[in-house]
Amino acid sequence: MIQGRGWKRWLLTLAVLHGIIACAGFFAPYDSAEQDREHPHLPPMKIHFMDSHGRFHLRPFFYEPRLREGTFEQFEESTEEVQPFRFFVSGARYRLLGLVPSHVHLFGAQDGRFYLLGSDAYGRDQLSRILYGGQISLLAGLLGAGLTLFSGVLIGATAGYFGGWRDGLLMRVAELFVALPWLYLLLALRAFLPLSVSPVQEFFLIVVVIGAVGWARPARLVRGVVLSAKERDFVKAARGFGATDAYLLRRHILPETSSVILTQAAILVPQFVLAEMTLSFLGLGVPEPVPSWGSLLASLQQYSTLVSYWWMYLPVLAIVPFFLGYLGLASALQQDGATEKMVGRAGEDIW
Amino acid sequence: MVRMPGFSTFGRWLGYGMLTLSAAVFSRPATGIPQQSRSAEELLTLSGEIGKQGGRLVISLRAEPKTLNPLTAVDAPSREVILGAMQADLIHINRATQLTEPALAKSWKVSANGLQYTLTLREGLRFSDGQPLDADDVLFTFRVYLDESIHATQRDQLIVGGKPIAVRRVDAQTVVFQLAETYGAGERLFDGLGILPRHLLEKSYTEGKLAQAWTLATPPDQWAGLGPFRLKEYVAGQKLVLERNPYYWKQDTKGNRLPYLDEMVFIFVPNADAQVLRFQSGETDLISRLGSENFSVLSRLQRGYTMTDAGPGLEYNFLFFNLNDPGEKTSPDLARKMKWFRDVKFRQAISVAIDREAIVRLVYQGRGAAIWGPVTPGNHRWGNSAIPHSARSLEKARAFLKEAGFTWTTTADGEITLVDADAKPVEFSILTSSTNADRTKMAALIQDDLKQLGVHAQVVPMEFRSLIDRVTQTKEYEACVLGLVSFDADPTADLNVWLSNGGTHLWNPSQAHPATAWEAEIDKLMKQQLTSPSYEQRKQSFDRVQQILADNQPMIFLASPDILVGAKNSIGNFHAVVLEPYVLWNVEQLYFRNSAENARQ
Amino acid sequence: MRYFLRRLMQAAFLLIAVSMLTFLFSTLAPGNYFEEMRLNPQISPETAAALRTQYQLDRPLPVRYGRWANSLLRGEMGFSFAYNSPVAPLLWVRARNTLLLTLTATLIAWALALPLGIWSARTLGRLPDRALSLATAGLLVIPDLLLALGLLILAVRSGWFPTGGMASVGFEDLSLFHKVGDIASHMELPVLALVLSALPVLARHVRAAVAEVLEAPFLRAAASHGIPRRTLLFRYVLRAAAIPLISLFGFSVGALLSGSLIVEVVMSWPGLGPLLLEAILARDLYVVIGGVLFSTIFLVAGNFLADVLIYWADPRIRTGAAAR
């Protein structure tokens, strides 16, 4: 009855998704900062096989966009100018995985630009921005969540296990950390950093700060569970047998906290990625021209974008598979963990 | 959507009409005044549609006003409410015509040497609580504005020729203002200086507590003013309610006392999109200072309301470089870069490389104007049409840079980079306010423009106050994108921006002596226009100032947004203007056409 | 009792530490409230500097802290530069408005999260659980801001809800009954936004905690004794699953004043959120410190409540602590 394989599938899916993001340069047709000022807010282009004269083309193509008469910002297809697709096109230079210089892209057009997912306010290709944006966002999300969880578990377990004055002190410090207006500090951060710190570096500094100070919540959750776990009979019995603290923590107590930790992890990564959006609201997000999912979604915060440019929602579609992946993985690990425990502890209950 | 060029013929007619009629107005007791024996009131008659009495106007503000005290009001919402609806001044600048007209003072005389202004108040006027207005109130008001211990924000405006204006009473209706030097802008000085009630505030003043008077918690009977509306109620965080001032000193041509509206409600909506939504749902009646994207959204579906584009306002956005003298604390990196910035050819190159049309198109959706100087098209009388509006040209930019001694190299990645005479790559950071999306967008566009020159610019959004601190105090910055909104069309309003010892002379503020010859010349010309009495002479001086700015580019001017507003169709007498307050400048004449609108659930 | 006193003292120390650190934070960033005036050509830098001195922003930090502590004892909590009035009255009104919103939302969120989470745990892996997981995942992906804005758009398009604010414009003219109804109808959207943003996290935690308990053998043993389902649920399952949930509940209490900032700003609810946000951006120092202290009090109370409840809920901790 041991289901050990569910989580492996989720892990594989996540690995593939992350792989695509890591090789964004190849999959993205254009550089994320390339502006096209003639075509801001272009809706996604349609791929055609049949042209307006009824002829079938083997190679898919798209039409050049043209400004609709009398408007500032509405576009339509100009059915005369056919632009065929090409695969493995030579385009903007990039470094694959940050190491290997290359200029081959999966697909593109000979002339003209193809906007599969539309363009943003500066005419930059949304698809490329989503792919490159994932690099920064996922890194920030994993970094921040990792820091928070790691420090939270460490401190929470210590507080819960040793109890007494250590517990009291750590929990009060936790309260201090939650109470302080870190927003104030973050707003000020840019102001006293030297100008030579690049905005991307500054953004990651913000993520580190948020991650480092966010340990209080997981710590309290873990501490609560540890407090109760250490009084369990099997723990006392193991101690009676001469187990050291480290052994008890590792073997008996921390596994009790696994479900809390996994749930937290699955929630924290999406929350960190989305926290970027709130940071952008306050002017603390990743600045131009670097894309990130948070800043892409930030443009959705405006009413005008929400009702006029529906394709700006598409980054959400890109994020959803990742979040579902993380949540699914956490769920699967929890379930298998529970099953394992059931099998493993059959002996204890008889006793 | 109705596009009005900034100065429609209708507006001109309205303004001149008001001027001529007001010059001919005399005592015409209006109806509905409580009977009391006093001298007949001299009301100001305004032409315009005759409106219906009644109705409640609801308008949203982005933030709460912080105070009702004009001496301490620095934030925009407070000033909008106070100056727009609650106070009246002696001489008022008509926001539509941009010219002065009599207000509380029915006439004024300027002495031959231009140093003395004698103002005659209208007779029989009263404050909103019924107490009479006379010259003692005017004296008290100006004494309070000029008092050094209060640090009123108005004080600096009343210092002419280095000395505060002296105010003297001649009789109950006449006041004399003595200036130390002729003042070119003339009677525009008096606009915005609301007259305060001596009978309510003198006690606080003598006790030294004037700055704490008239907070939002003030009970309505402790407040009085001369504006069209008076205080009725304030609910913290939600709304400020004003009611009609029954003693208001204006009437329409039929003799009905203005204002037409019974009540004005300001609700506080902190979020711009929420403001738009509430206007769309009909909860608010007017909306002002819209962004261009929201304007487009509202224009698409005009149900019961009309959106108006009033043309370019007086806001000018610009990019400027750090032109301060490097001090001992300046890092060698910054000092090196400042050498580039000081070369006028470098600045000229940057200026001609910037795509201003793209800024207007992408940041303002075409609802704006590219500018090459501080005077926007919205300012009718002071623009210098001789300034060239050079189109974007990368070749010219490259030519300027070559003349300045810069060259281009190719890096290992195949990118072309601009380097200076010491072969160091040209790169710098552009500061913007993190809360201003428009200017950050401009900086991003400029960044891309400069990339094509081989210049690597970095956009650094920073919290606003820290940014100001860097620009004005520590001076540790490289380049910055900011904008200013002129309070008045007259060049004297922005005096401190052009004077080299001015606090807002952003590229090198508060200089002890002018750092360059051209700044010294600007100083001379600005002082000339400040004191010369004729408009033609002043225009000549200011034209020359604009030419010097164009030649030396201390500020690279970018674009100016249009004033975008909207109003319900049922509101009569609604005209948008490009001077603040954009929709409330004639609030006393606004009325609701059909009385069904007045009933609100 | 001694425990209670000890926690009270710790709470007092915490408040002092928070106030000091916030003061410190505020000086880290250059600039102050009056800085904005320096961009106004009408006001000279001397006036701005004079105002700074008048409000004693140029005094050294310990002196300012001392004066502020003094005003705290007098019940004023410092002075707001923007409003030109003491801070305390500003905060009370706003805090009351915020609590109205968050208390309602917290109660509703918990009332929904418990049954949903339990149901999900009971049907683990099957359709109801998967549907719920998908729904919570979907809600988690949507940030607060977007949610609030989306609901506002819904309000405008459908006309079913008021578009923000706490009361209608003609509030004063309504009868008491209608006044209550008016405020309630204005609360609907913000509460909905808060509940929707809190629900996924709570529901997932409840599900995780209950699922773990449901696997436990002692429960099967109890069921095999014939104990009815309802008793099983309340007496056995919830008590056992309570520990992490109690900590979570402590957080809910702790976030009563601070968790609703974004929703309040977007929906123009006159709570603490918009006041604090504006004060932070404008550097209205004492308003920020006052707001932070208010929030801290709730935070401390929440954690204290959670700790007390944990001790009450899990007898093993009590006996274990006593035995040691």
The residues, ordered by sequence, that sit 6+ positions from B542 with a Cβ below 8 Å of its Cβ are B382, B384, B491, B525, B526, B529
Q: What mean pLDDT is predicted for residues C42-52?
A: 83
Rounded Cα gap, residues B248 and B229, in angstroms = 8
CB A14 within 8 A of CB A21: no
- Asked whether the predicted pLDDT for residue B434 surpasses 90, the reply is no
Q: Residue B259, SS3?
A: coil
Whether the CB of A348 is below 8 Å from some CB of chain B: the reply is no
- What band does A113 get if pLDDT is binned at 50, 70 and 90? confident
CB C88 within 8 A of CB C75: yes
Distances (CA, A) of A183 to A97, B119, B429, C265: 34, 53, 24, 16
| Residue indicated by tokens 């003061």 | C23
How do residues B372-403 score in pLDDT, each as one tens digit? Answer: 999 999 888 898 889 989 899 999 999 999 99
Q: Do A122 and B459 touch (CB under 8 A)?
A: no
pTM: 0.84
- Asked whether the predicted pLDDT for residue A331 surpasses 80, the reply is no
Does CATH number 3.40.190.10 belong to domain B2-7+46-287+570-600? yes
The answer to whether position A199 is within a domain reads: yes
CB A183 within 8 A of CB A120: no
| Percent with pLDDT over 90 in chain B | 48
Q: Do C153 and A306 touch (CB under 8 A)?
A: yes
User: Are A84 and A139 in a shared domain?
Assistant: no
| Residue indicated by tokens 């926690």 | C7
Strand-pair category, A56-67 with A48-50: antiparallel
Q: Is B344 exposed, middle or buried (0-12, 13-18, 19+ CB in 10 A)?
A: middle
Count of A–B CB contacts within 8 Å? 95
- What band does B416 get if pLDDT is binned at 50, 70 and 90? confident
Weakest-pLDDT range from B311-320, B513-522, C260-269? C260-269
For the beta carbon of residue A271, count every other beta carbon within 10 angstroms.
19
Q: In chain A, what is the straight-line distance between the N-terminal and C-terminal CA atoms, in Å?
A: 23
So where are chain B's domains?
Answer: 2-7+46-287+570-600, 315-561
Of A90, A121, A152, the one marking the end of a domain is A121
Q: Which two tokens stand for residue C197?
A: 């943003």
Q: Which of residues 355-384 of B touch A (CB under 8 A)?
A: 355, 358, 361-362, 365-366
Of A121, A152, A175, the one marking the end of a domain is A121
The residues, ordered by sequence, that sit 6+ positions from C76 with a Cβ below 8 Å of its Cβ are C86, C87, C88
Rounded Cα gap, residues B298 and B307, in angstroms = 7
- Asked whether the predicted pLDDT for residue A303 surpasses 60, the reply is yes
Rounded Cα gap, residues C181 and C158, in angstroms = 20
From the centroid of its chain, how far is CA A204?
14
Q: What mean pLDDT is predicted for residues B227-253?
A: 91
Residues of C whose CB is below 8 A from B278: 163-164
CB A336 within 8 A of CB A4: yes
Q: Which two tokens stand for residue B8?
A: 């429609």
Of A100, A121, A142, the one marking the end of a domain is A121
Torsion of CA B438, B439, B444, B449, to 10 degrees: 110
Q: Do A301 and C26 touch (CB under 8 A)?
A: no
- Asked whether the predicted pLDDT for residue C173 surpasses 80, the reply is no
∠ CA B507-B512-B517, nearest 5°, is 65
- What band does A70 get if pLDDT is binned at 50, 70 and 90? low
Q: What mean pLDDT is predicted for residues B37-51?
A: 76
Distances (CA, A) of A180 to A222, B31, B338, C67: 22, 61, 39, 21
- Neighbouring subunits of B (3+ Cβ pairs under 8 A): A, C
How do residues B313-336 score in pLDDT, each as one tens digit? Answer: 999 999 999 999 888 888 888 888
- Asked whether the predicted pLDDT for residue C211 surpasses 90, the reply is no
CB C277 within 8 A of CB C210: no
The nearest alpha carbon in chain B to C40 belongs to: B504
- Asked whether the predicted pLDDT for residue C134 surpasses 70, the reply is yes
User: Are A184 and A308 in a shared domain?
Assistant: yes
The DSSP element (H or E) to which C291 belongs, if any, is: helix C285-313
| Residue indicated by tokens 């043209």 | A66
According to DSSP, residue B494 is labeled G
Q: Residue B244, SS3?
A: strand
| Residue indicated by tokens 């959004």 | B461
Q: Do A184 and C288 touch (CB under 8 A)?
A: yes
User: Are A61 and A206 in a shared domain?
Assistant: no
The residues, ordered by sequence, that sit 6+ positions from C53 with a Cβ below 8 Å of its Cβ are none
Q: What is the domain count for chain A?
A: 2
Query: What pLDDT does A72 receive?
Result: 65
User: Are A74 and A146 in a shared domain?
Assistant: no
Q: Which of residues 284-303 of A touch C (CB under 8 A)?
A: 297, 300-301, 303
Query: What pLDDT does B13 receive?
Result: 46
The answer to whether position A168 is within a domain reads: yes
| Residue indicated by tokens 């009909």 | B282
* Cis amide bond preceding A289, omega within 30: yes
| Residue indicated by tokens 């880290």 | C28
Strand partners, B100: B93
Q: Do B277 and C153 touch (CB under 8 A)?
A: yes
Q: Is B292 exposed, middle or buried (0-12, 13-18, 19+ CB in 10 A)?
A: buried
Taking Cα atoms as reference points, which of B528, B549, B548, B550 lies closest to residue B539? B528
Residues of A whose CB is below 8 A from B434: 190, 282-284
User: Which phi-psi region, left, alpha or beta, contains residue B237 (left: φ > 0; alpha: ψ -120 to 50)?
Assistant: left
The residues, ordered by sequence, that sit 6+ positions from A317 with a Cβ below 8 Å of its Cβ are none
Query: What pLDDT does A348 receive?
Result: 35
Q: Is A262 exposed, middle or buried (0-12, 13-18, 19+ CB in 10 A)?
A: buried
The dihedral through the CA atoms of C172, C175, C176, C179 has a sign that is negative
Higher pLDDT: B465 or C172? It is B465
How do residues A140-190 score in pLDDT, each as one tens digit? Answer: 888 889 999 999 998 988 888 888 888 888 888 888 888 777 777 777 777
Q: Which two tokens stand for residue B257?
A: 């006392």
- Asked whether the predicted pLDDT for residue B16 surpasses 70, the reply is no
State the nearest Cα–Cα gap between C138 and chain B, in angstroms. 24
Q: Which of residues 217-256 of A touch C (CB under 8 A)?
A: 217, 220-221, 223-225, 227-228, 230-232
Query: What pLDDT does B7 receive?
Result: 39
| Residue indicated by tokens 């409540």 | C305
Taking Cα atoms as reference points, which of A293, B514, B150 lies closest to residue C141? A293
Taking Cα atoms as reference points, which of B282, B287, B274, B325 lies closest to residue B304? B282
Q: Which residues of B575-592 are buried (b: 16+ CB within 10 A; e: fewer)?
A: bbbbbbbbbbbbbbbbbb
Q: Residue B327, SS3?
A: coil
Q: Residue B286, SS3?
A: strand
ipTM over 0.90: no
User: Are A116 and A135 in a shared domain?
Assistant: no
Q: What mean pLDDT is predicted for residues C265-286?
A: 85
The answer to whether position A158 is within a domain reads: yes
The nearest alpha carbon in chain B to C46 belongs to: B503
Q: Is C127 exposed, middle or buried (0-12, 13-18, 19+ CB in 10 A)?
A: exposed
The DSSP element (H or E) to which B240 belongs, if any, is: strand B239-244
* Cis amide bond preceding B220, omega within 30: no
Higher pLDDT: B577 or A302? It is B577
- What band does B596 get if pLDDT is binned at 50, 70 and 90? low
Q: Do C145 and A187 touch (CB under 8 A)?
A: no
Query: What pLDDT does B135 receive?
Result: 92
Please give the CATH number for the structural domain made up of B315-561.
3.10.105.10
Average pLDDT over chain C, rounded to an integer: 83
Identity of the residue numbered C13? F
- Which among A184, A217, A267 has CB closest to C204? A267
Residues of B whose CB is below 8 A from C169: 56, 58, 239, 265, 267, 283, 600
* Mean pLDDT comparison of B23-32, B418-427, B590-599, C134-143, highest-scoring range: B418-427
The answer to whether position A291 is within a domain reads: yes
- What band does A293 get if pLDDT is binned at 50, 70 and 90? confident
Can you point out the beta strands (E) in A19-173? 48-50, 56-67, 75-96, 100-109
User: Are A295 and A235 in a shared domain?
Assistant: yes
How do residues A15-59 score in pLDDT, each as one tens digit? Answer: 898 888 888 888 888 888 888 888 888 888 888 777 777 778 777
The nearest alpha carbon in chain A to C241 belongs to: A225
Query: What pLDDT does A351 receive?
Result: 24
Residues of A whose CB is below 8 A from B354: none
Identity of the residue numbered B304? G
CB C250 within 8 A of CB A220: yes
Average pLDDT over chain A, rounded to an integer: 78
User: Are A111 and A171 in a shared domain?
Assistant: no
Whether the CB of C172 is below 8 Å from some CB of chain B: the reply is yes
The answer to whether position A324 is within a domain reads: yes
User: Are A148 and A42 in a shared domain?
Assistant: no
Q: Do C31 and B469 touch (CB under 8 A)?
A: yes
Rounded Cα gap, residues C73 and B375, in angstroms = 53
Residues of A whose CB is below 8 A from B474: none
Taking Cα atoms as reference points, which of B220, B216, B204 lies closest to residue B127? B220
Whether the CB of C268 is below 8 Å from some CB of chain B: the reply is yes
Whether the CB of A351 is below 8 Å from some CB of chain C: the reply is no
- Neighbouring subunits of C (3+ Cβ pairs under 8 A): A, B
- Asked whether the predicted pLDDT for residue B35 surpasses 50, the reply is no
Rounded Cα gap, residues B496 and B474, in angstroms = 19
Tell me the residue range of the domain where A62 lies: 25-121
Whether the CB of A281 is below 8 Å from some CB of chain C: the reply is yes
User: Are A59 and A172 in a shared domain?
Assistant: no
| Percent with pLDDT over 70 in chain C | 97
- Asked whether the predicted pLDDT for residue B39 surpasses 70, the reply is no
From the centroid of its chain, how far is CA B400?
36
CATH number at residue A327: 1.10.3720.10
- What band does C318 get if pLDDT is binned at 50, 70 and 90? low
The DSSP element (H or E) to which C245 belongs, if any, is: helix C238-254
User: Are A66 and A196 in a shared domain?
Assistant: no
Identity of the residue numbered B174? T
User: Are A186 and A261 in a shared domain?
Assistant: yes
The DSSP element (H or E) to which B333 belongs, if any, is: helix B332-341
User: Are A290 and A184 in a shared domain?
Assistant: yes
Rounded Cα gap, residues B49 and B53, in angstroms = 12
- Asked whether the predicted pLDDT for residue B25 surpasses 70, the reply is no
Q: Do A227 and C217 touch (CB under 8 A)?
A: no
CB B279 within 8 A of CB B305: yes
Q: What mean pLDDT is predicted for residues B426-439?
A: 89
- What band does B595 get if pLDDT is binned at 50, 70 and 90? low
Q: Which spans in C162-284 are helix H?
A: 176-215, 217-224, 229-231, 238-254, 261-266, 272-282
The residues, ordered by sequence, that sit 6+ positions from A224 with a Cβ below 8 Å of its Cβ are A160, C243, C244, C246, C247, C306, C310
Q: Do C35 and B469 touch (CB under 8 A)?
A: yes
Rounded Cα gap, residues C242 and C315, in angstroms = 12
Rounded Cα gap, residues B555 and B317, in angstroms = 9
Residues of C whose CB is below 8 A from A274: 141, 143
